[in-house]
Amino acid sequence: MGWRSIRAALLDRPVPAAATVMAVIAVSSYAVAHFPRSILAFMLFQASILLLYFSRTAPWLKAALAALTLGLLMPILGTINGYYLEVAIQVGIFVALALGLNIVVGLAGLLDLGYVAFYAVGAYTWAVFGSIQPTRFMSEGWLRWFPLGPEWFFVFLFLGVLTGATTGILLGLPVLRLRGDYLAVVTLGFGEVIRVLANNLDKPINITNGPKGITPIERPPLFFRPILNAVGLDAPPATLYPLYFYFLVLLIVGVVILVNRRLENSHIGRAWEAIREDELAAQAMGVPLVRMKLLAFASGASFAGIMGVLFSAKQIFINPESFTFLESIGVLSMIILGGMGSIPGAILGATLVTVLNLQVLKGLSLWLNELRNAGVTILGYNLADLPTQLEPAKYERMIFGIILILMVILRPQGIIPSRRRTRELRDR
């Protein structure tokens, strides 16, 4: 019995599909709860969400199960093992980034290699004003307004969108005339420029505090705590904050997905895809090239901006190291893996790559270290002699590289190709 027939038997008819998915969700949640330190159990849990996506169940059931797993099971499992919640938050952040880059690269076909710059701009927007940083560069008169209180975080979420979009337009204006690969190199340079600026703007006036970074950064207020108290639930901030950020990320990702879907099927999305396929033809059909490209840059950048604000609040500490070229390529490999121009593809790609980085590579590192410390001997080779510099966790570049090469050569449409592209390929 082949893989296809198994899949058909289990996932393609509504009732078996619903049963299978529920069973897998139940088993995996139980496994995670029972073996909180097992990476495999948690990956099974993540896979159950993927299974849910692929199964042919009634839409209402799908939505309900998704809400159950993401809204209830995940937070509960996250309180059992805090690291899983951290992974989930990171996945959410990267999903939003991948969806943003997906607009620029996947839909509009503009290769942006400095995408992380917009993320950095968002992060520094909140970090500078939501910390004691203003005392370092502002005059006395202004200082009675700063530092801003935690409630300003929500204002800055919107400001993050604005600053992201503005930076996107500022970058886009001069460079959008350039041809594809030149544009890529210029955006790469721009990403580096932003990082170098963040690294060096501690003098002549100290705005970013240079390589030392900014800390502590205000977190959003726990406004719901009185309500929790009223119903007799209370937890220390240390447990509340991760859950809080998890739901914030979930909310933002939800909004981002919604915006993406609306955009994709609007006249704007169609214009982007027309530009991607053939600029000249699009222009001849009356697509305003510059305005549409700027719009793509701005909307992609705004998602990065809002996630930047959230990232800085979550981390409490940021420095330029978090915004390197590596991050930009990481996000790029996520959408190439998932499928350019495909929303579910971007989500899946972001999840896979993040999980690979945070769990598989880290897990391998830990495992190797344990073997090394135990001095296990394999085939006459004592693992205690393994070079100490050999840390699988540090090899994310290799992962990104392999993903990019293999996907581009073997499956350029990605794991979940966009619907429109599948149709196109079928027509040929």
Partner 1 sequence: MDLPLLISIFPQVLTDGLILGFMYALIALGYTMVYGVLEFINFAHSEIFVTGAFVGVEILLALKARGTLDLLSPFLVLIVLLVAAMAVSGLLAVTVERVAYRPLRGKPRLIPFISAIGVSFFLQDAIRLFESIWRNSFNLVYPTMDLFNQRFTLTETIDISVKSVVVIVAALLMLWALHLLVNRTKIGKAMRAVAEDQATASLMGINVNRMISLTFLIGGAMGGAAGVLFGIQYSLINPYTGFIPGLKAFTAAVLGGIGNIPGAMVGGLVLGLLEAFAASYFSLLTHGAFGAEYKDIFAFSVLILILIFRPKGLLGEVVRERA
DSSP 287-311: --HHHHHHHHHHHHHHHHHHHHHHH
Alpha-carbon torsion (131, 134, 140, 146), positive or negative: negative
DSSP lists the bridge partners of residue 382 as 377
DSSP character at residue 381 = E
Q: Does 86 bind partner 1 (CB under 8 A)?
A: no
Dihedrals phi, psi of 423, to nearest 5 degrees: -60, -45
Q: How crowded is the C-beta side of 80, counted as CA atoms within 13 Å?
A: 16
Residue in 38, 199, 206, 422 binding partner 1, rule: CB under 8 A: 199
List, in sequence order, the alpha helices (H) in 111-236.
116-129, 152-175, 180-200, 225-230
Q: Does 425 bind partner 1 (CB under 8 A)?
A: no
Q: Does 204 bind partner 1 (CB under 8 A)?
A: yes
Q: Which residue has the tokens 């830990």?
A: 366
Closest to partner 1 by CB, 58 vs 384, is 384
As to burial, measured by CB atoms within 10 angstroms (0-12 exposed, 13-18 middle, 19+ buried), residue 265 is: exposed
Q: Does 400 bind partner 1 (CB under 8 A)?
A: yes
Structure tokens at 180: 């594809």
Q: Does 73 bind partner 1 (CB under 8 A)?
A: no
Q: Does 428 bind partner 1 (CB under 8 A)?
A: no
Can you state the angle between helices 325-338 and 116-129, rounded to 10 degrees? Answer: 130
Of residues 249-288, which lie at the interface with partner 1 (CB under 8 A)? Answer: none
Find the shortest distance in angstroms from Cβ 390 to partner 1.
5
Residues 288-327, one symbol each (x = binds partner 1 by CB under 8 A, - = not), give -------------------------------------x--
DSSP lists the bridge partners of residue 377 as 382
Closest to partner 1 by CB, 49 vs 111, is 111
Q: Does 395 bind partner 1 (CB under 8 A)?
A: yes
Q: Does 117 bind partner 1 (CB under 8 A)?
A: no
Stretch that binds partner 1, among 23-31, 59-67, 371-379, 387-395 (CB under 8 A): 387-395
Least Cα distance to 86 among 327, 360, 359 occurs for 359
For residue 201, count other CB atoms closer than 10 A to its CB. 18
Closest to partner 1 by CB, 17 vs 275, is 275
Q: Does 23 bind partner 1 (CB under 8 A)?
A: no
Cα–Cα distances (Å) from 257 to 47, 83, 249, 294, in that order, read 20, 25, 12, 20
Find the shortest distance in angstroms from Cβ 334 to partner 1.
13
Of residues 352-371, which lie at the interface with partner 1 (CB under 8 A)? Answer: none
Find the shortest distance in angstroms from Cβ 28 to partner 1.
32
Closest to partner 1 by CB, 130 vs 338, is 338
Stretch that binds partner 1, among 45-53, 152-160, 224-232, 384-392 (CB under 8 A): 384-392
Whole-angstrom Cα distance, residue 124 to residue 312? 7
Of residues 325-354, which lie at the interface with partner 1 (CB under 8 A)? Answer: 325, 329, 332-333, 336
Whole-angstrom Cα distance, residue 294 to residue 209? 31
Find the shortest distance in angstroms from Cβ 361 to partner 1.
11
Whole-angstrom Cα distance, residue 15 to residue 17? 5
Find the shortest distance in angstroms from Cβ 349 to partner 1.
14
Whole-angstrom Cα distance, residue 329 to residue 42? 26
Residue in 1, 227, 280, 409 binding partner 1, rule: CB under 8 A: 409
Provide the binding-site residues for partner 1, judged by CB under 8 A.
Answer: 109, 111, 113, 174-175, 177-182, 184-186, 188-190, 192-193, 196-197, 199-200, 203-204, 325, 329, 332-333, 336, 387-390, 394-395, 397-398, 400-405, 408-409, 412
